[in-house]
């Protein structure tokens, strides 16, 4: 079927219409249902076209490429040199100095034994070095995942009253987090994590930073009896109801390190070449505070210490995983939430540093790498790990060239586990609290929040909901509220699409929004509307009502001005990318409705799938007639204006 084929228009000197050639609206090339389905599935699940590299390659080469795809280390490993190793060993040792105190601190944040934090900085980096595609990502525990894991599990199990069960649930949650992450990568469903918008993440991380910092009041003030709740009110209430437990020695030491650590970070930010100052500050704090406690026997004067830590490498923990019982739902839920958050952070960090060095990070491969890293970690006494921003920034600034820097860090942690654990016996808890506060306070991004306010007020509301939800309710509820509001925003955009009234810019055949371009003018006898969204079952009723309302408003205005009524309703469909059967029915119903008002419906530039479906549905050929379908609004107006004899027109 040829939807529209008109001859060249002749000038109508009475109306002042410039001659304009009217072009055919050509239907898209025919494609079978299988071809369409294949194309849609490819764009959904394989937008990066991973199989392209295998085309026209001999069988042996295909096997090599496949091995390199699964194990990226095989791609860069054969070309590895001593020169690269010199850079990687410096960066690896540097991030190890940060990873050791952070590992101990974040494990305590998750209410886990401190040694588990070091275990989690040993095995996962080795796995990532083999499977990961980022050169800069430094792997280990992170504050947000630690906070979520601890807070969600503490709702049902006490880490003090039942530490073994709590540890088992932590390892089980890590297994399900890794399983979920690897499944997303294997099934190429990474677009799911895109529901965590930038606004959500900024609000969520800022709220989590506040909660994490407040939780450290227990260590910073030396309080023994402290609430396990995460909300702002119970935490502050607990802190001020236990003033009698405050220790001035602990407060003094905490204040000193809370000044020293941010100062070190400030120096590194002002002079990037001094990155090692910020990177080494946590380890220096641990060493210095441990020496002070040991020398003055401060553990007997109100300063609590970590105590004796177990030596040796990661013991196996696969026998501790829970796959049944009353807590199965809890560990699956915890694994799902921590898996999504840690995956989002890891991929975002990896892509950030990849962009700085101009190389690509495969999101689906990263999901599989991080997922398998956590699955293996759950069987080797590790809890949820991912790519940490602070460590990765240090790794990048220290000159890391490959993932070998993770291996160097892992070996350093291994040496610590085997030989240096007794040195941490006198490390005060207050310095770990100071390290955590200093690390998470950088998650509060005020410039980004101001930018969101400037660009999109609704996104700012979403950000505030995430922030206040985390601060006043709970970490997972705050995240859920923000995601729900974001989805509501998407649904609102789908169910209430924009419709604009278009006018002609004098002297041209260009039509633009009347409320945007003040010099644009209406064409008498024409109501020209633009629909700027896909048309589907969710918005057809609204669109019909809104279009009929536009007609009534237009006719009311024209009656007041005593000018002509509408002869043609032109719908510009250039921005309508998709349509379903309900959308097709909309045009049939709309045509009947406007004909009762003496108005003719005209469609302009339906594209691709939309045009194809309209052609198939138009058996009577009343919607897609030669005088009701045009390529541009200008051509439609030029072709239809001569039919309105006696009407004046300003369109030239």
Please tell me the number of Cα atoms within 13 Å of 9 on its side-chain side.
22
**Calpha distance 37→46 (Å, rounded):** 13
**Calpha distance 290→287 (Å, rounded):** 5
Residues 529-563 pLDDT 10s = 999 989 999 999 999 999 999 888 888 876 656 56
Provide the pLDDT for residue 484: 86
- pLDDT-based confidence at residue 13 (cuts at 50, 70, 90): very low
Those residues with Cβ within 8 angstroms of residue 366's Cβ, 6 or more apart along the chain or in another chain: 132, 133, 134, 185, 346, 347, 350
Q: 307 with 411, same domain?
A: yes
How confident is the prediction for the chain on average, in pLDDT?
Answer: 84
Provide the pLDDT for residue 562: 58
User: Whole domain around residue 15: which residue ranges?
Assistant: 11-30+496-643
Q: 101 with 87, same domain?
A: yes
Percent of the chain with pLDDT over 90: 27
Please tell me the number of Cα atoms within 13 Å of 194 on its side-chain side.
7
Residues 220-239 pLDDT 10s = 888 877 776 777 888 888 88
Q: Could you say which of 464, 490, 516 is where a domain stops?
A: 490
Q: 267 with 148, same domain?
A: yes
Q: Assign residue 23 the CATH number of its domain.
A: 3.30.750.24
**Calpha distance 119→99 (Å, rounded):** 11
| Residue 404, domain member (yes or no) | yes
Going along 351-396, which residue ranges are E strands?
386-387
Strand-pair category, 499-504 with 511-513: antiparallel
Q: 409 with 513, same domain?
A: no
Q: 96 with 43, same domain?
A: no
Q: 156 with 226, same domain?
A: yes
Q: 455 with 484, same domain?
A: yes
Residues 310-334 pLDDT 10s = 888 999 999 999 888 888 999 999 9
| Residue 528, domain member (yes or no) | yes
**Nearest alpha-carbon partner for 168 in 179, 182, 157:** 157
**Calpha distance 433→502 (Å, rounded):** 61
| Residue 3, domain member (yes or no) | no
Provide the pLDDT for residue 620: 65
Q: Could you say which of 445, 471, 490 is where a domain stops?
A: 490
Torsion of CA 78, 79, 80, 84, to 10 degrees: -170
**Nearest alpha-carbon partner for 650 in 492, 462, 507:** 507
Q: 296 with 358, same domain?
A: yes
**Calpha distance 348→94 (Å, rounded):** 22
Those residues with Cβ within 8 angstroms of residue 494's Cβ, 6 or more apart along the chain or in another chain: 533, 534, 536, 538, 539
**Calpha distance 374→123 (Å, rounded):** 10
| Residue 5, domain member (yes or no) | no
Q: How far is CA 580 from CA 534, 537, 577, 608, in A?
A: 9, 7, 11, 13
| Residue 472, domain member (yes or no) | yes
| Residue 158, domain member (yes or no) | yes
Tally of domains in the chain: 3
Q: Where are the alpha helices (DSSP H) in 496-539?
A: none
CB atoms within 10 A of CB 246: 16
Q: 428 with 336, same domain?
A: yes
Kindly report which listed range (4-18, 149-163, 394-408) carries the lowest average pLDDT score: 4-18
Those residues with Cβ within 8 angstroms of residue 531's Cβ, 6 or more apart along the chain or in another chain: 497, 498, 499, 543, 571, 572, 573, 575, 576
- pLDDT-based confidence at residue 652 (cuts at 50, 70, 90): very low
Provide the pLDDT for residue 622: 67
Give the 3-state secondary structure of residue 415: helix
Q: How far is CA 482 from CA 12, 147, 310, 354, 410, in A?
A: 58, 18, 41, 29, 37
Residues 209-223 pLDDT 10s = 888 888 888 888 888
| Residue 526, domain member (yes or no) | yes
What are the tokens at 268?
A: 């590194």
**Calpha distance 55→39 (Å, rounded):** 18
Q: 384 with 328, same domain?
A: yes
| Residue 136, domain member (yes or no) | yes
Strand order in the sheet with 499-504: 511-513, 499-504, 526-531, 568-572, 600-604, 629-630
Report the 3 state secondary structure along 264-324: HHHHHHHCHHHHHHHHHHHHHHHHHHHHHHHHHCHHHCCCCECCCCCCCCCCCCHHHCCCC
User: What is the DSSP track for 161-186?
Assistant: TSHHHHHHHHHHHHHHHHHHHHHHHH
Residues 64-106 pLDDT 10s = 888 888 888 888 888 888 888 988 898 888 888 888 888 888 8
Q: Taking 60 as the threshold, does the pLDDT of residue 4 lie above it?
A: no
Q: Could you say which of 21, 52, 70 is where a domain stops?
A: 70
User: What is the DSSP track for 565-590?
Assistant: ---EEEEE-TT---B-HHHHHHHHHH
- pTM, whole model, 2 decimals? 0.76
**Calpha distance 232→474 (Å, rounded):** 9
Q: 133 with 17, same domain?
A: no
Provide the pLDDT for residue 21: 72
**Calpha distance 485→421 (Å, rounded):** 47
Q: How far is CA 62 from CA 106, 132, 150, 362, in A?
A: 43, 20, 45, 19
From first CA to last CA, the distance across the chain in angstroms is 32
Q: 471 with 512, same domain?
A: no
């Amino acid at each position: 079927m040829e939807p529209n084929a008109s001859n060249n228009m002749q000038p109508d000197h009475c109306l002042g219409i410039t001659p304009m050639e009217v072009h055919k609206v050509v239907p898209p090339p025919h494609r079978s249902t299988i071809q369409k389905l294949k194309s849609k599935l490819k764009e959904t699940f394989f937008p990066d076209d991973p199989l392209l590299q295998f085309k026209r390659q001999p069988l042996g080469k295909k096997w090599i490429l496949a091995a390199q795809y699964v194990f990226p280390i095989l791609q860069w490993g054969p070309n590895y040199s001593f020169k690269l190793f010199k850079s990687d060993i410096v960066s690896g040792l540097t991030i190890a100095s940060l990873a050791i105190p952070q590992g101990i601190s974040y494990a305590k944040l998750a209410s886990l034994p401190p040694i588990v934090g070091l275990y989690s900085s040993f095995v996962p980096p080795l796995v990532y070095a083999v499977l990961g595609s980022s050169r800069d990502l430094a792997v280990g525990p992170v504050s947000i995942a630690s906070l979520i894991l601890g807070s969600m599990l503490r709702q049902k199990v006490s880490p003090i009253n039942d530490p073994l069960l709590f540890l088992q649930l932590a390892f089980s949650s890590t297994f399900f987090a890794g399983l979920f992450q690897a499944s997303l990568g294997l099934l190429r469903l990474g677009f799911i994590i895109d529901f965590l918008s930038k606004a959500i993440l900024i609000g969520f991380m800022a709220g989590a930073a506040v909660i994490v910092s407040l939780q450290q009041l227990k260590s910073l003030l030396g309080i023994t009896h402290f609430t396990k709740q995460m909300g702002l009110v119970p935490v502050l209430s607990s802190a001020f109801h236990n003033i009698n437990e405050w220790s001035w020695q602990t407060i003094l030491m905490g204040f000193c390190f809370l000044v020293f650590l941010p100062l070190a970070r400030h120096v590194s930010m002002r002079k990037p070449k001094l990155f090692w100052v910020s990177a080494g500050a946590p380890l220096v704090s641990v060493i210095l505070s441990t020496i002070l406690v040991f020398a003055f026997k401060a553990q007997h004067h109100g300063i609590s210490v970590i105590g004796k830590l177990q030596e040796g490498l990661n013991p196996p923990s696969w026998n501790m995983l829970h796959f049944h019982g009353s807590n199965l739902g809890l560990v699956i839920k915890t694994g799902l939430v921590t898996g999504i958050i840690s995956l989002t952070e890891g991929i975002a960090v990896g892509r950030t540093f990849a962009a700085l060095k101009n190389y690509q990070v495969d999101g689906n491969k990263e999901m599989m790498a991080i997922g398998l890293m956590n699955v293996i970690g759950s069987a080797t006494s590790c809890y949820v790990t991912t790519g940490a921003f602070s460590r990765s920034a240090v790794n990048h600034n220290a000159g890391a060239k490959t993932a070998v820097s993770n291996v160097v860090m892992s070996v350093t942690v291994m040496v610590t586990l085997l030989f240096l654990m007794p040195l941490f016996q006198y490390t005060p808890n207050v310095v770990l609290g100071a390290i955590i506060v200093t690390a998470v306070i950088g998650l509060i991004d005020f410039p980004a929040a101001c930018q969101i306010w400037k660009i999109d007020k609704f996104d700012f509301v979403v950000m505030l909901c995430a922030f206040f939800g985390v601060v006043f309710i709970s970490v997972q509820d705050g995240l859920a509220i923000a995601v729900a509001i974001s989805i509501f925003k998407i649904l609102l955009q789908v169910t209430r699409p924009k419709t604009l009234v278009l006018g002609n810019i004098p002297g041209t055949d260009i039509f633009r929004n009347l409320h945007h371009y003040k010099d644009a003018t209406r064409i008498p006898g024409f109501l020209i509307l633009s629909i700027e969204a896909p048309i589907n079952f969710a918005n057809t009723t609204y669109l019909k009502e809104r279009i009929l309302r536009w007609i009534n408003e237009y006719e009311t205005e024209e009656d007041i001005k005593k000018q002509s009524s509408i002869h043609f309703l032109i719908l510009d469909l250039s921005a309508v990318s998709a349509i379903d059967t309900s959308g097709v029915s909309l045009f049939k119903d709309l045509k009947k409705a406007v004909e009762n008002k003496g108005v003719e419906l005209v469609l302009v530039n339906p594209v691709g799938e939309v045009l194809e479906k309209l052609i198939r549905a138009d058996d009577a050929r009343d919607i897609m007639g030669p005088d009701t379908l045009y390529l541009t609004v200008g051509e439609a107006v030029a072709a239809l204006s001569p039919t309105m004899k006696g009407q004046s027109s300003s369109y030239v």
